[in-house]
Structure 1
């Protein structure tokens, strides 16, 4: 871990599992999330949040210097305002000092000729003299303050010159070497993740809020089958009466709202449980149990097929409703559909689908009621079900298609915005994508893995 941090510091943050709080992330410079895993002894390997390669053009130290320079400039402006005000008051005091000297001279003249002056005038002048007497130390203090402010101004000028010189010097540095280090680390991390076999869910941490947009319900996703350099994001707002899919070239573009393309689907969708897999969008056609495969490259429907006996149109939705009867998802083992049937008494049915033909490759009947589930997601052929879509939710039930068995679990996750309407696992990023009450969020997952060695391959 130390070697990694040396390579990335200060452009990368190494976040250990469970050690970062729920924060709002504004990756204006295209930050990507790379998750990780555990070894056989439960030790954390690493989790990296890294900038995209073409955006590694600024150093964190330069940003710190820029912020410091701005603070100095702001301080300089404040001192200038204070200086002007002090100088104005100082001029007023100086005029009073002249009046005081003149009055004191007159008072001495009067005092030497008391007998020729009216006693009333003498007392009046003496009263003015007494009133001016306390201003003498104030006058001296103003003189001292004026000198101090003058020193402040000079020190600020000197500091600004030094900081500006440092900033200009940093601006001349060559970032290509640092960029290559980042790319090398990314390659090593991808290679490490490729050696991880399927694991069991142990912990969910986060969330990290990537963006706040859209209605309370929707879906956003990336393609787990895409190449490491392909970081396109797809965005589908609302759970019904919509067929517009927005595409973004990267997380950075998604955050800034820079759309690269818009797709007008031939059919409206139902629910929020869509998935992008190997360049195609899989979704539930509105008011039907038909699954549609839409190819982004051609802009056409490749195939569509009905899920036999699957309930639809709010017959067997998740607890939040929203026509979430059919949940399409993908994991390390392929494409899946999660739904419920009358034949299984409204309990969840898991079917593995052929991505090209949508034919059912295998089906498993669980004993968990679809209507009692908050959301669900697949990891390594195991379906994990949350007990609620509201606050206090946790992963409560897990069904393994490998062993055709289930177990009750107790894995809490932070439902920060109190209404989860989409929660899907991305095998490439090893992270959960969520739509949390109009917030697009990411959760980190901790899996217990067995790491393959060269001898095992």
Structure 2
């Protein structure tokens, strides 16, 4: 009896175990099937993403290739535009040199009466030299360097054989820098190679000149005073208050200049303006020995939009610009000998540069201009021709 019971129990246990094993196997198969489906889905998604990424990469490469082509095309267009602009500027330069100068001043009855009353003052000048040339064009421009502030002047002594370069930085200062030669000035990055000359009085403006071993500069006090300073022994040789009343800035675009001292083949000149003749620039011949005024003239050259001026062979050349600096041009002249007039000259343009000239110093020995342009030191080489060729 016990054996039968045991056999029955064993059968039951075997049957239950078989059912459990079968259910477990079915469960595992179901789970494995589910995993296989997910693996297939992941594989499909992965292939799709890889395909999309590959397509995107191809699109990006094509876009980069197109961008490179477009950049090359733009570069070529810019180069072509630059060439055309340069050609256009050369053509404009040529055309500008061919156009006659417009009249500098409108003559009315009051102006005529003023000149009649000052006939003695404005009489012709008897020249000391046989210089009879006038500027035909600015032949070349050489930019040496950039040094100092926006206003200043640099120059050489036209008398003698000295190669020294004198630099007066700023529209108000008291220290002159002297470089032994042009090379030292051009290559130096500071004033270490320059000698320093301390002036007894600070200067005002940029209208000073070095002439015959002396610095002639303007001192501002109650009145404007010209100082003659010996550069060799560093002493004041002479000084004079010019007989010019109620002075005003001589250049409309350079308000810091009341007197501009110029040198040419004839000697020293004073360029100035007064309230009495507040519209036009005045000129005077200065005796370099005793600082006396030898002769005075009222010129037809307007102060308005004047930038700077210089004298060549007894002829005043006034340089004009605009309030927003563009291209400087000689648009008005005044010949103290009466040989040439504004109707006989073309407008002379200076090459493109940086801003506006704070000083332009003509060197009669070298026949070139030392200019200070917004902190840049520039040399303009001039081309001359006889005055009688203008007729």
* TM-score of the alignment, normalized to the shorter chain, above 0.5: yes
Q: What residue is the counterpart of 1:215 in the other structure? A: 149
Shift of 1:353: 0.7
8 Å contact kept, 1:375–1:388: no
Deviations 1:301-343 (A, max 9, x none): 111111222555xx32423334211000100000011001223
8 Å contact kept, 2:155–2:370: yes
Shift of 1:350: 0.7
Q: What residue is the counterpart of 1:237 in the other structure? A: 169
> 2 CA distance for matches of 1:342 and 1:293?
26
Q: What residue is the counterpart of 2:376 in the other structure? A: 439
- Among 363, 368, 374, which residue is 2:307 paired with? 374
SS in 1 for 2:384: strand
8 Å contact kept, 1:320–1:374: yes
Q: What residue is the counterpart of 1:251 in the other structure? A: 182
8 Å contact kept, 1:246–1:259: no
Q: What residue is the counterpart of 2:337 in the other structure? A: 402
SS in 2 for 1:324: coil
Q: Does 1:206 align with 2:145?
A: no
- Among 284, 290, 294, which residue is 2:218 paired with? 284
> 2 CA distance for matches of 1:349 and 1:410?
21
SS in 2 for 1:255: helix
> 1 CA distance for matches of 2:217 and 2:255?
14
Q: What residue is the counterpart of 1:363 in the other structure? A: 296
Which segments of structure 1 move beyond 6 Å, counting only runs of 4 or more? none
TM-score by length of 1: 0.52
Cα separation, partners in 2 of 1:444 and 1:209, compared to 1, 3 Å? same
Q: Does 1:413 align with 2:345?
A: no
> 2 CA distance for matches of 1:378 and 1:321?
18
8 Å contact kept, 1:316–1:371: no
Cα separation, partners in 2 of 1:353 and 1:404, compared to 1, 3 Å? farther
SS in 1 for 2:160: coil
> 2 CA distance for matches of 1:392 and 1:439?
15
> 2 CA distance for matches of 1:344 and 1:278?
32
Cα separation, partners in 2 of 1:421 and 1:400, compared to 1, 3 Å? same
SS in 2 for 1:374: strand
Number of matched pairs: 252
Cα separation, partners in 2 of 1:256 and 1:295, compared to 1, 3 Å? same
SS in 2 for 1:254: helix
8 Å contact kept, 2:142–2:378: yes
- Among 434, 444, 448, which residue is 2:385 paired with? 448
- Among 267, 284, 302, which residue is 2:237 paired with? 302
Cα separation, partners in 2 of 1:321 and 1:374, compared to 1, 3 Å? closer
Shift of 1:222: 0.1
Q: Gaps spanning 5+ residues in structure 2: where?
A: 1-128
Deviations 1:133-190 (A, max 9, x none): xxxxxxxxxxxxxxxxxxxxxxxxxxxxxxxxxxxxxxxxxxxxxxxxxxxxxxxxxx
Shift of 1:346: 4.2
SS in 2 for 1:253: helix
Shift of 1:384: 0.3
